[in-house]
Chains A and B, each alone.
Chain A
Amino acid sequence: MAIAGAVVVPMDKETENTIKKRLNAIDGVEVHGIGEKGIAVVIEADDIERLRKLSEEIKKWEEVIDVQLSYLNWEEK
């Protein structure tokens, strides 16, 4: 189990809702609100590698500047 808290930083205010919709469509991602600094999300995956890849994928979206981790917890095998 790997769980991260993160802030998805949008390119601009206009893209926030688009990003939110895309995030909500991903299995394992929960959106917890849109704040001044970005979109607060929780990302959950079976293991840390999958979580990392998911986070990297989101970071590649055109409307996203960055995915900033605020919390990360995983179990070592």
Chain B
Amino acid sequence: MAKVTRREFIKASAAATAMAMASLPVDAIAEPSITYGRAQCRFCGTGCTVLAGIKNGKMVAVKGDADSPINFGRLCMKGYSLPHIMYGKDRLKRPMVRQLNGRYKEVSWDEALDLIADRFASLIKNHGTDSVAWYGSGQNTTQEAFAANKLFKGIIGTANVEGNPRLCMASAVGGYLNTFGADEPAGTYDDLDMTDCFFIIGSNMAEQHPMLFRRVIDRKTAYPDRVKVIVADPRYTPTARYADLHLKFRPGYDTYLLNSMAYVIIEEGLIDEEHLNYCTFRKGLKTKGDFVDFNAYKIFLADYAPDKVASQVGVPAEDIRKAARWFGRKGYATLSLWTMGLNQRTKGVHLNCQVHNLHLLTGKIGKPGCDSLSLTGQPNACGGTREQGGLTHILPGHRAVANPKHRAQIAEIWGVDVKWMPKKPTGPAVNMFMRLDEGKIKAIWINTTNPGQSLPNAGRYREAMKKAFTIVSDIYPTRTTELATVILPSAMWIEKEGVMGQTDRRSQFIPKLIDPPGEARTDFWQIKEVAKRIAKKLGRKTKYRVIDPVSGKVKQVKEVYGLGFETEEEAWNEYRLCTRGQDVDLWGATYEKLKKHAGGIQWPCPTTELNNRGSAKRYISKEYAQRIFGITTKRYRTGYVTIYDQHLEEKGMKGPINYYGHHPFKKGSKNKAIIRVLKAGLDYEMPDREYPYVLNTGRVIEHWHSGTMTMRVRLLRELNPNAYVEVSPEDAKKLNISSGDKLKLISRRGEIVLPVWVTDRARAGMVFVPWFDENKLINLLTVDHPKSWSGAGEPDYKVCAVKLMKA
């Protein structure tokens, strides 16, 4: 047999994947020394399925998994960079403790873990359980997040459990809860391939969710006249460039825009009267406002007629009408997609509800190509935080800390004394760091996230982290590890095993394929080891159980100091028990099934039947699916999803459509979705005479979040090496600046000097700065005032007031 060189092999692999994607027959290629393992991409919340090629214990290749119903074998530039993110020269490999002289000294794991446990136990004894805190991440695996939640809420007994998803998705949660009474979308990625109108608002999908945007392009290309793409964004992004209609609204005025679209939908008879039987109307958010009827809502919207608000919104009235008409076209499908542009806003929850309103009014939900689909930013914000309960107010399986029944249920599964558990939430992420700054929280464990770079008004909290006893678990040195008392080196991605959950209620398995470098250990192990030590010091024993993954039979084995599970699979099975029978039912997501199906399992999935991959759509019955879709299941090579909601079927709930959210707002709205009657309003810190410009922050295609991983890939670093400020040509003229000049940005909290990029991407009156650059911390300027937070405690990174000076 002729010897194949590495170059020839790579070329053959490249040809094979291209041929497969072009729908050409492909001969199998195999090189015995490379083995491929299936995982989910490490980066964004899309959850593309990748095949990681391993040779001699190192990741050497990556390709998209053609079996995946998410990315169909495709990957984006960041996905293709996966082999390179793991091998940066400065990977953290040994635990380190900061010394009195400020330098870090390498220590053994036992020394580091004992130090943490001693300090935590001492603080809890002397200052109470709320003197310690956990700040996790939408990049933790669900098992890690579950372990941390159990340690802090179950064993220590504090609700000081928060995570960075509070900074990115909390408003989306608030929107779903206020509208449907239950978190997370009703639809699925497959809606991208069936819709006739994309309404993309506050999202630069082309750069931040490129593989999903690829499906937008595919759909539009296939049906160029039928399919309309509307993009609402103050910036002229690559996504907006692709749009049939770009609504370049004034920053802050989208609450007016959305109410105006609702007005047109009603005025022009685009409502779905049958679907309105499944809806009710209520003033305001949560439970304070009155229920009203359709006519009251119609009268309320009269103030938002396009002719009345167009000048405020900054969009021609006719464009608002056109957008509403395309959105509401009878007999056509509409899919809304959004991310941080709506969520990271003072009115974030309002905006989310207002998008849902449009879908509920027009009945464009629960049908092919129809949904109100919030896109996720991180690979496990949905799974590890929203579903698992990784925030101060929630418990696993969509339960509430403040609900005694829910606490009792979780205490039973966790094998802890319910009296140990906190009875009420403490505060959202920024509030937690405020308490750290005030000295009320004295120790914090920051895991897989970089708040030293990402928190709004970061300067204040950087000082707080440096003063406190701060533990940081990460893979590389960051702007947060430099503030740590103890640095713990973590394993990353395929160096450990876990489950992650994405946008469309999808959970996927990541296997351990290679060993971590040096003495780096998994976060799951770190939490487990600290838990053993702290539990012993607190004298709190947990029940260690083994759960049969199919029958669910629980066998009590013994009482232990620690979390009560040893392996990631044991933790997953205990977590599955927490979801069993809940709307977020993952009981059917056994390890066996997660490993079998490319693209994972979509909850609700109550059954462990091997081929059942869960529910593609929520809130609709089997009969309704048959009537509307003409099918009740969709088959894949390895199994099937039901088009209908398996939770609805399992619980025997009635109705073709049943918005069954079991939430505090259900009185008066049982089994119905709530159209929220919401006055338009602006962000907290709008521009004024002193600070006349809006600062908008965000992301770029080459980098992900704070750049911890992508800035260690030479290609990505060279493509986009540093932060800059986008300035519109109009503002550049006013300021007498050109591309390459330096501009000083000053907010009420801080200032920064950045190179200028004059571009039509920016809107006059607004500048944009990406936040990936650890040498240029734009979050020193952003606003952290509690009044700037959305109703879900999420800070506003999209609108804060700045003044600009040529530097």
Q: Are A1 and B7 in contact (CB under 8 A)?
A: yes
3 tightest CB-CB pairs across the interface, nearest first?
A: A5-B14, A35-B22, A5-B18
The answer to whether the Cβ of B608 comes within 8 Å of any Cβ in the partner chain is no
Say whether, besides A70-B74, A71-B13, A40 and B217 are in contact (CB < 8 Å): no
Say whether, besides A3-B7, A3-B11, A71 and B221 are in contact (CB < 8 Å): no
Chain B's interface size range is: 20 to 34
- Whose C-beta in chain A lies nearest to the C-beta of B221? A65
The answer to whether the Cβ of A77 comes within 8 Å of any Cβ in the partner chain is yes
A contacts with B: majority SS = strand
Q: Are A37 and B15 in contact (CB under 8 A)?
A: no
Cβ contacts under 8 Å, A3 to chain B: 7, 10-11, 14
Q: Are A68 and B17 in contact (CB under 8 A)?
A: no
> B443-451, B578-586, B710-718: which one contacts chain A?
B710-718
Interface centre among A4, A5, A69, A76 (most CB of B within 10 A): A5
The answer to whether the Cβ of B100 comes within 8 Å of any Cβ in the partner chain is no
Interface centre among A39, A44, A71, A77 (most CB of B within 10 A): A71
A36 to B17, CA, bound (A): 14
- Whose C-beta in chain A lies nearest to the C-beta of B214? A68
The answer to whether the Cβ of A60 comes within 8 Å of any Cβ in the partner chain is no
Q: Are A36 and B22 in contact (CB under 8 A)?
A: yes
Q: Are B74 and A68 in contact (CB under 8 A)?
A: yes
Interface centre among B13, B15, B16, B217 (most CB of A within 10 A): B15
Among A33-77, those with CB < 8 Å from B are 33-42, 44, 48-49, 52, 65-66, 68-74, 76-77
Cβ contacts under 8 Å, B74 to chain A: 68-70
Q: Are B14 and A4 in contact (CB under 8 A)?
A: yes
Q: Are B22 and A69 in contact (CB under 8 A)?
A: no
Say whether, besides A68-B74, A76-B84, A77-B714, A5 and B24 are in contact (CB < 8 Å): no
Residues of A within 8 A of B (CB): 1, 3-7, 30, 32-42, 44, 48-49, 52, 65-66, 68-74, 76-77
Interface centre among B64, B714, B718, B719 (most CB of A within 10 A): B714
Told that A5-B14, A35-B22, A77-B714 touch, could you supply 13 new A-B pairs with CB distance under 8 A? Answer: A5-B13, A32-B19, A33-B24, A34-B22, A39-B22, A42-B15, A70-B17, A70-B21, A71-B13, A71-B80, A73-B10, A73-B13, A76-B715
Q: Are B715 and A40 in contact (CB under 8 A)?
A: no
Among B55-95, those with CB < 8 Å from A are 61, 63-64, 73-75, 77, 80, 84, 87
Least distance between B205 CB and chain A CB atoms (Å):
15
Cβ contacts under 8 Å, A74 to chain B: 715
- Whose C-beta in chain A lies nearest to the C-beta of B83? A73
A36 to B21, CA, bound (A): 9
Q: Are A76 and B714 in contact (CB under 8 A)?
A: yes
Chain A proximity mask over B499-532: 1 for CB below 8 Å, otherwise 0: 0000000000000000000000000000000000
A72 to B17, CA, bound (A): 10
A33 to B61, CA, bound (A): 24
8 pairs across A/B with beta carbons < 8 Å? A7-B21, A32-B18, A42-B11, A70-B63, A70-B64, A71-B80, A76-B87, A76-B713
Least distance between B509 CB and chain A CB atoms (Å):
23
Of the residues B16, B19, B715, contact of A35 by C-beta under 8 Å: B19
- Whose C-beta in chain A lies nearest to the C-beta of B80? A72
